[in-house]
Structure 1
Amino acid sequence: MQAMKPYAELEQRFRRLSAVGGALAMLGWDQSAMMPEGGAEARAEQMATLSVLRHEWLTDPALGGLLEAAEEQADRLTDWQRANLREMRHEWRHATALNGKLVDALSRAAATCEMVWRKAKKENDFKAFAKVFGPVLELTREAAAAKAALLGRSPYDALLDEYYPGGSSKSIDAIFADLGKFLPGFIDKALARQAKKPAPLPISGPFSTDKQREAGLFFMKALGFDFHHGRLDVSAHPFTGGTPSDVRITTRYADEDFTRSLMGVLHETGHALYELGLPGKWQHQPVGRAGGMVLHESQSLLVEMQVCRGDEFLSFATPVLRRIFGGDGPAWSLENLQRTYRRVQPSLIRVDADEVTYPAHVILRYRLEQMLLSGDLAINDLPDAWADGMQTLLGVDVPDHGHGCLQDIHWSTGSIGYFPTYTLGALAAAQLFAAAKAADPAIQPGIAKGDFKPLLRWLRKHVHSLGSLLSTDDLLRQATGNPLNATAFKAHLKARYLS
């Protein structure tokens, strides 16, 4: 028992760190969903104080000694404990790269910038955003340089490692190059095939927020969301927050179109199901957390894109939507909803993009954030670079900043390195859903009847319950037989849009 003491003390320390992290998560959710603008200054102070406190605990010199002592005794630990120790070391290395002053400054700058971004987006005011984004970007560069020096990676890869542990821009570049060769020709073929069919009939509104919320709650419940441990609210940018025992998801509503909000809810429900399914025994330990954002995005995109735009789900959903919204006539037919939800159309907004053109939105952001971080792109040149990229990649003109470079929240909070995980998650989603369907023939008939238990059971076993036990590639190999790649994604697009 004496030999287990270093590891046991580490678990106790990380349990306390988890509690502070959970408090920060709830404060962040409240800031985006509930907090009045006048609370911004006090909230920035609260979050900065807790961030610094957590950082001080995590960088305590004694913790480094405990890690070394526990690693010397790793052969006496279980597989889960060894994986937990690995995740502790990973978190500790990222934390010790930064000093408390930088953590405090970045937390305050990000909190301020997010509040300004919300207003700037509505008012198309890039100058106001640029003024507060400048400090966030400078501090993020400082953090990236410090982490790069410690981890022996490039500054961008050092930030990427927070969202995709072990991932690299080199591997992402290879995958995106593969997609870059495939997608332009495929998009042309999909658009040509689509042009031979009737265009979707408009589904006329207005649709009240109450009815849209009713629809969202219905499908959340059907998918398996546990309302005893979560809730649905509204924010400027849909997201999932909170903790695994108190999952908060948000959406936004538009009176003229319920389809965008509903898919936003379904997307965030995929995130929430992952959080709710994480291993309860390890809830307050690093190994009990989600295995990075590639896997997290795979779960949201598996639900939204793979499942909820498929024939089985739409056949189940059509009569429900007719009932809730009082819809009737050809516009509310299954065929029209299929055309509506699977319409390929280059567009301005990433979160509303179809799954065929979505990767182009991500590739643009991936390129621009690398240039912002390196200094190759000045903040004031961002709108023009964005407009040029949208024209080159998707052939669309950007009318204003709100529909352009101000549409996403990520950069305002310093979250550089996150964007590529969306498309990598889409690839993983295709792999996982293909493997699930092959393993359990009851999954697709179940979805058609509104029974998602077979699918959720498979995901619980092969993804959710594993937390961070395995790396992304190891989990995918175990669940699907292959590491992360674009093969299943391309096969899925061909089957859905060309066959």
Structure 2
Amino acid sequence: MSFTKLDDLGRRLEALGHALSILGADEATHMAIGGGEKRAEAMAHLAGMHHAQATAPEIGDWIEAARSEDLTEDQKLALGEFEREYRNATCLPTEFVQRRTTATMRSEQLWRELRAKGDWDSFLPALEGVVSLVREEAALRSAATGLGPYDALMDQYDPGNRVADIDAVFADLKSFLKDFLPTALSVQEERLARRPRQALNAPYPIEKQRELGLAAMRAVGFDFTHGSLAVSHHPFCGGVPTDVRMTTRYRTDEFLTSLMGVLHETGHALYEQGLPKNWSHWPLGKARGMGIHESQSLFVEMQIARSAEFWDYMLPLVHQYLGDDAIPGWGIADILNEVNFIERGYIRVDADEVTYPLHVILRYELEQDLVTGKLEASQIPEAWDARMTEYLGISTINDPKDGPMQDVHWPAGAFGYFPSYTLGAMIAAQLGAAMEKDIPDMGDQMRRGEFGAINQWRADRIWTQASRYSTPDLITRATGEPLNADHFKAHLRKRYGRA
């Protein structure tokens, strides 16, 4: 049977992917510096083997032949995902992939060198080359999929998402946030006038912070028989579902950044650990796109870990692991003042829950214009500044370092990825609203440190579904309605608006 051949292929690709994931996680956490050259060589060979097997010409014949076989419903869905992945892997000619790889690697190297200097003019030629290649890639993917050029790029990250749908949702959200931000800042100012932010009693020993993070992970359901926590320069969740490799980083002058980062990455880890084991070697058994993955991390970080109910449970653990004098005199209100502090800022990765979506929408709008040719790379600084001024009331016209040079995505050629970040926040809020209807005492359960029912709800609707459905269909099935910005707006009003 041809499906059996695809099943065997899936197992071989899973084994190679497993090795690459663990080697990559080890490189970022434990590898000695002298091991870099040989590690890169080993991973390059494994990646080459993976690509060669995933793009073998006979796979197309197997997919076509399997259509006429007597397949179960799961196998039919798996066949569709095999076909989608094969099309995505083979629609770009080898010659193009080589040109793109060379250009993006050089662009990233220049970006790392020139970003600190804010030297836009020296960086621009490399970025222009990348944008040209992205337009070429969009055309190739569009021809292979029948989608519009930007839709074809975006479909790699969130299958099923379309500009026609997201434009309307983002326009609604953008309008709301531009009006809501001044209100939220005013409410915060009034609150801080009544109860000013408190000083932290540093230092916080790293080992004690680690134990606190492990306790938080354990509380929200992380399975330590199938995962671990390490340290890396940039926090990430990697590895494989049976061996999730989570990382964080520490500062001794404060502990909240690391703790919130740990909880965010735990959200990713819970999703990976909850994927169906019997489909793990099929594309069907993988996580459904970046927007859904981000929704799971943000659900833990935003819906759970930045709530008063969670801190009813967590605050005693802070005292237990960091000591009674860690935050002397602090109450839950003081913690919330810190973890929910909002401000207008230049840097996306440092942005708060209210302003972050505006950073993403800005990039989403600009990169669409770049892909269609409506905007040229040389025009980015002015277009960026116009939107920053309109959306956030701050100018970046003379600051490319903290403006259009701040992200690695465009230098690396990753167009179509940015929407996933804000879609994740919106999906998380919509999941939370649906969950509260089914688990009305959800807040009380969090106060008691009971997360079993909360996790089971997400396991049933998201984790165990893996890639059975497109992103929009999965949202509708999980919550009873398509993606709706009203839930995210209600979440922000409740947390940051006037009572």
Report the TM-score when normalising by structure 1: 0.88
Alignment partner, residue 473 of structure 2: 474
Alignment partner, residue 456 of structure 1: 455
SS at match of 1:197: helix
CA gap of 1:470–1:241, structure 2 versus 1, over 3 A, is same
Q: Check conservation: 1:45, 1:108, Cα contact below 8 A.
A: no
Alignment partner, residue 413 of structure 2: 414
Alignment partner, residue 81 of structure 1: 75
Deviation of the 1:90 alpha carbon: 0.7
- Corresponding residue to 1:210 among 207, 212, 219: 207
CA gap of 1:239–1:135, structure 2 versus 1, over 3 A, is farther
In the TM superposition, 1:215-230 aligns within 5 A as 215-230=212-227
Q: CA–CA distance in 2 between the matches of 1:109 and 1:45? A: 20
Deviation of the 1:237 alpha carbon: 3.4
Identity in percent: 45
CA gap of 1:55–1:128, structure 2 versus 1, over 3 A, is farther
Alignment partner, residue 102 of structure 1: 96
* Correspondence 1:296 to 2:290: no
CA gap of 1:229–1:329, structure 2 versus 1, over 3 A, is closer
SS at match of 1:163: coil
Matched letter for residue 294 of structure 2: E
Q: Check conservation: 1:44, 1:111, Cα contact below 8 A.
A: no
Which moved further from structure 2: 357-366 or 340-349? 340-349
* Correspondence 1:496 to 2:488: no
Alignment partner, residue 438 of structure 1: 437
Q: CA–CA distance in 2 between the matches of 1:395 and 1:52? A: 47
Deviation of the 1:309 alpha carbon: 0.6
CA gap of 1:261–1:88, structure 2 versus 1, over 3 A, is same
Matched letter for residue 370 of structure 1: Q
Q: Check conservation: 2:202, 2:253, Cα contact below 8 A.
A: yes
Deviation of the 1:300 alpha carbon: 0.7
In the TM superposition, 1:64-463 aligns within 5 A as 64-73=60-69, 76-107=70-101, 137-198=131-192, 199-326=196-323, 327=325, 332-374=330-372, 377=375, 379=377, 382=380, 385-397=383-395, 403-463=402-462
Q: Check conservation: 1:225, 1:272, Cα contact below 8 A.
A: yes
* Number of equivalent positions: 493
Q: Check conservation: 1:313, 1:450, Cα contact below 8 A.
A: yes
Matched letter for residue 348 of structure 2: R
SS at match of 1:250: strand
Q: Please list every run of 5 or more consecutive structure 2 residues that lacks an aligned counterpart in the other structure.
A: none
Q: Check conservation: 1:10, 1:66, Cα contact below 8 A.
A: yes
Matched letter for residue 424 of structure 1: L
Q: Deviations over 1:343-382 (max 9, x none)?
A: 2222233233221111111112212333444455555665
Alignment partner, residue 17 of structure 2: 21
Q: Check conservation: 2:429, 2:488, Cα contact below 8 A.
A: yes
Matched letter for residue 13 of structure 2: L
Q: Deviations over 1:98-130 (max 9, x none)?
A: 123433554566566656656666676767866
SS at match of 1:249: strand
* Correspondence 1:10 to 2:22: no
Q: Deviations over 1:68-111 (max 9, x none)?
A: 111223xx322211111111111111112012343355456656
SS at match of 1:242: strand
Report the TM-score when normalising by structure 2: 0.88
CA gap of 1:409–1:394, structure 2 versus 1, over 3 A, is same
Deviation of the 1:296 alpha carbon: 0.7
- The Cα RMSD (Å) is 3.0
- Corresponding residue to 1:63 among 45, 59, 62: 59
Q: CA–CA distance in 2 between the matches of 1:405 and 1:37? A: 32
Q: CA–CA distance in 2 between the matches of 1:293 and 1:95? A: 18
Matched letter for residue 64 of structure 1: G
Q: CA–CA distance in 1 between the matches of 2:163 and 2:415? A: 13
* Correspondence 1:53 to 2:49: yes
Deviation of the 1:269 alpha carbon: 1.0
Q: Check conservation: 1:260, 1:352, Cα contact below 8 A.
A: no
Q: Deviations over 1:164-201 (max 9, x none)?
A: 10211221111111112211222222222222212422
Q: CA–CA distance in 2 between the matches of 1:270 and 1:465? A: 15
Q: Check conservation: 2:475, 2:483, Cα contact below 8 A.
A: yes
Q: CA–CA distance in 2 between the matches of 1:376 and 1:29? A: 40
SS at match of 1:241: strand
Q: CA–CA distance in 2 between the matches of 1:349 and 1:420? A: 17
Q: Check conservation: 1:295, 1:425, Cα contact below 8 A.
A: yes
Q: CA–CA distance in 1 between the matches of 2:79 and 2:405? A: 39
Q: Check conservation: 1:292, 1:472, Cα contact below 8 A.
A: yes
Q: Check conservation: 1:41, 1:112, Cα contact below 8 A.
A: no
